[in-house]
Amino acid sequence: MLLVAQQKCHAYSQVSFHNVSVSNLPFENNSFDVIVSASVFHYFDDPHAALMEIKRVLKPQGKLFILDWCKDYLSCNICDFILKLVDPAYKQCYTQKEFHNLLTSTQFDIERAAKFRFNVVWGMMIVQAIPQT
């Protein structure tokens, strides 16, 4: 996945990619203008700690974009149940309300949020958030 992202963004010199643990990011406080998490949040061992670490490295006016599966859709609910049984790396997906509660509990303000179908059966949610000041 990282290689695909690098190939897609090769023309953008200011974009960099790192393979690191979200619970211990090797960056200074207030380092990033934008952080994007795409279809990985459901693998985080400790989502609260992950968001706190993201908040630490995000600049005060920085933006966080998270795109992930949405358990509000039946297909994702079923997949959530099955993956917990067969994929040890998988943790859980969230309803939009659960996810918003998680963001606000880690002092993020939600600027925009939406749910949508990715195809006929798959549901996604996207959120744009900023650190509370």
Six token digits for residue 40 = 């990985």
pLDDT tens digit string along 74-85?
Answer: 888 899 999 999
pLDDT in tens, 106-124: 999 999 999 998 887 789 9
On whether residue 10 sits in a domain, the answer given is no
- Structural domain harbouring 102: 30-131
Averaged pLDDT score across all residues of the chain: 92
- What total of structural domains would you count in the chain? 1
Q: Which two tokens stand for residue 73?
A: 């859709």
User: Which pLDDT score is estimated for 63?
Assistant: 98
* CA 1 to chain CA mean position, Å: 15
Query: Rounded to whole angstroms, how far apart are CA atoms 102 and 108?
Result: 9
CATH of the domain at 68: 3.40.50.150
Please tell me whether the overall predicted TM-score, pTM, comes out greater than 0.75 for this model: yes
Most confident range, picked from 7-11, 18-22, 32-36, 119-123: 32-36
Q: Does some domain include residue 105?
A: yes
Specify if 9 maps to a domain.
Answer: no
